[in-house]
Structure 1
Amino acid sequence: MEDGRSRVNVHSILTSVSSRPFGAVKTYPLTQLGHAMGRHTIHLIFYYEKSPLGSFDVDPMRESLSEVLSLYPLATGRLTRDGAGNWEVKCNDAGVRVLRARVGVTLDEWLRSANGSEERDLTVWEDMPESPTIGVSCTHMHADSTSLALLLKAWSEANRRQPIAYLPSFHPPTPQPPSTNIETKSTNYLAAKSQAHTPPVKMATATFKFSDSTIKQCISRIHDKCPHANPFDLLAALFSTRILHLKGPKNYRKHSLSVCVDFRRLLQEPLPYGYFGNALYFSLLSINAEEIECGDLGRMAELVHCHVSGLKEEEFWSALHWLESQKEGGKYAPPFTMYGPELTCVSMEHMIVGDQSVMYSAIFDSARPVHVSCHVGNVEGEGLILVMPSAEGLARTVTVTLPEEEIAKLCKDQAILCLEPEVLFCGKV
Structure 2
Amino acid sequence: MPAAAAAVAAGLATGPGSRVTRFAKSTAASVTPVRPGKTHTLSPLDNAMECHTVHVVLYCRAAPGLDREPLKESLSEALSLYPAMTGRLTRREGGEGAPAEAEPAQRGWVVKCNDAGVRMVDARAAATLDEWLATATGDEEMDLLYYEPMGPEPYIWSPFYVQLTEFADKSYALGLSCTHIHNDPTAAALFFQAWAAAHRRTTSTYPPFLHAPAFEVSPTSPPPPPPLLADKSSAASPAGADAAPMSSATFHFPAPAVRALLSSLEPGTTPFAALAALFWLRITGAADGERELTLALDFRKRMYAPLPWGYYGSVVHFTRARADLASGLPAVAAALDAHVAGVPEEDLWRAVEWLHARQQQQEGGPTGPFQMYGPELTCVALDHVPMYGAEFEAGAPPARVSCRVGGAAGEGLVIVLPAAEGGEARDVVVTLPAEATARVCGDGEVLRHGAQVVFGAKAGKEA
Q: Report the alpha carbon displacement of residue 235 of structure 1 after superposing the two structures with TM.
A: 0.4
**Which residue is equivalent to 1:368?**
397
* Aligned with 1:256 (options 292, 299, 305): 292
Matched, 1:196 2:235: yes
Deviations 1:362-388 (A, max 9, x none): 111243211111111111221111000
- Residue 179 to residue 258, structure 1, CA distance change in 2 (3 Å): farther
Contact 2:59 2:398 in 1 (8 A): yes
Q: Distance in 1 between matches of 2:65 and 2:216?
A: 44
Q: Distance in 2 between matches of 1:188 and 1:36?
A: 16
Matched, 1:397 2:427: yes
Q: Which has the higher contact order (CA 8 A, sep 6+)?
A: 1
Contact 1:211 1:396 in 2 (8 A): yes
* Aligned with 1:334 (options 363, 368, 375): 368
**Which residue is equivalent to 2:122?**
100
**Which residue is equivalent to 2:11?**
none
**Which residue is equivalent to 1:415?**
445
Q: Report the alpha carbon displacement of residue 330 of structure 1 after superposing the two structures with TM.
A: 7.5
The one-letter amino acid of 1:121's match is: D
Structure 2: gaps spanning 5 or more residues: 1-13, 96-107, 162-175
**Which residue is equivalent to 1:325?**
357
Q: 1:133-282 alignment to 2 at 5 Å?
A: 133=158, 134-135=160-161, 136-172=176-212, 173-174=214-215, 182-183=223-224, 187-199=226-238, 200-222=243-265, 225=266, 227-245=267-285, 255-282=291-318
Matched, 1:35 2:39: no
* Aligned with 2:29 (options 17, 22, 25): 17
Q: Report the alpha carbon displacement of residue 179 of structure 1 after superposing the two structures with TM.
A: 9.7
Q: Report the alpha carbon displacement of residue 201 of structure 1 after superposing the two structures with TM.
A: 1.8
More displaced stretch, 297-306 vs 3-12: 3-12
Q: Distance in 1 between matches of 2:64 and 2:37?
A: 34
- Residue 6 to residue 25, structure 1, CA distance change in 2 (3 Å): farther
Contact 2:249 2:431 in 1 (8 A): yes
Q: 1:292-303 alignment to 2 at 5 Å?
A: 292-294=325-327, 296-303=328-335
Q: Distance in 1 between matches of 2:131 and 2:77?
A: 34
- Residue 96 to residue 3, structure 1, CA distance change in 2 (3 Å): closer
The one-letter amino acid of 2:21's match is: N
Residues paired across the two proteins, number: 408
Q: Report the alpha carbon displacement of residue 3 of structure 1 after superposing the two structures with TM.
A: 8.2
Contact 1:36 1:334 in 2 (8 A): no
Q: Report the alpha carbon displacement of residue 31 of structure 1 after superposing the two structures with TM.
A: 1.7
Matched, 1:69 2:79: yes
**Which residue is equivalent to 2:411?**
382
Q: Report the alpha carbon displacement of residue 234 of structure 1 after superposing the two structures with TM.
A: 0.7
- SS of match in other structure, 2:415: strand
Q: Percentage identity across aligned positions?
A: 41
Q: Distance in 2 between matches of 1:114 and 1:394?
A: 25
- SS of match in other structure, 1:388: strand
Q: Report the alpha carbon displacement of residue 101 of structure 1 after superposing the two structures with TM.
A: 0.4
Q: Distance in 2 between matches of 1:314 and 1:64?
A: 40
**Which residue is equivalent to 1:124?**
146
The one-letter amino acid of 1:109's match is: E
Q: Report the alpha carbon displacement of residue 188 of structure 1 after superposing the two structures with TM.
A: 1.7
Contact 1:32 1:324 in 2 (8 A): yes
Deviations 1:297-317 (A, max 9, x none): 111111000000000011010
Contact 1:84 1:331 in 2 (8 A): no
The one-letter amino acid of 1:193's match is: K
Q: Distance in 1 between matches of 2:369 and 2:131?
A: 39
Q: Report the alpha carbon displacement of residue 52 of structure 1 after superposing the two structures with TM.
A: 6.7
Q: Report the alpha carbon displacement of residue 240 of structure 1 after superposing the two structures with TM.
A: 0.5
More displaced stretch, 314-323 vs 84-93: 84-93
Q: Report the alpha carbon displacement of residue 39 of structure 1 after superposing the two structures with TM.
A: 0.6
- SS of match in other structure, 1:39: coil
Q: Distance in 2 between matches of 1:257 and 1:16?
A: 40
**Which residue is equivalent to 2:100?**
none
TM-score using structure 2 length: 0.83
Contact 2:222 2:354 in 1 (8 A): no
- SS of match in other structure, 2:285: helix
- Residue 302 to residue 129, structure 1, CA distance change in 2 (3 Å): farther
Q: Distance in 2 between matches of 1:160 and 1:323?
A: 40
Contact 2:384 2:417 in 1 (8 A): no
User: Displaced runs of 4+ in structure 1, greater than 4 A?
Assistant: 175-183
The one-letter amino acid of 1:218's match is: L
- Residue 16 to residue 198, structure 1, CA distance change in 2 (3 Å): closer
Q: Distance in 1 between matches of 2:83 and 2:354?
A: 29
Deviations 1:250-282 (A, max 9, x none): xx9x72110110011111111122111000000
The one-letter amino acid of 2:140's match is: E
Provide the aligned C-alpha RMSD in A. 2.4
TM-score using structure 1 length: 0.89
* Aligned with 1:283 (options 319, 324, 335): 319
Contact 1:84 1:329 in 2 (8 A): no
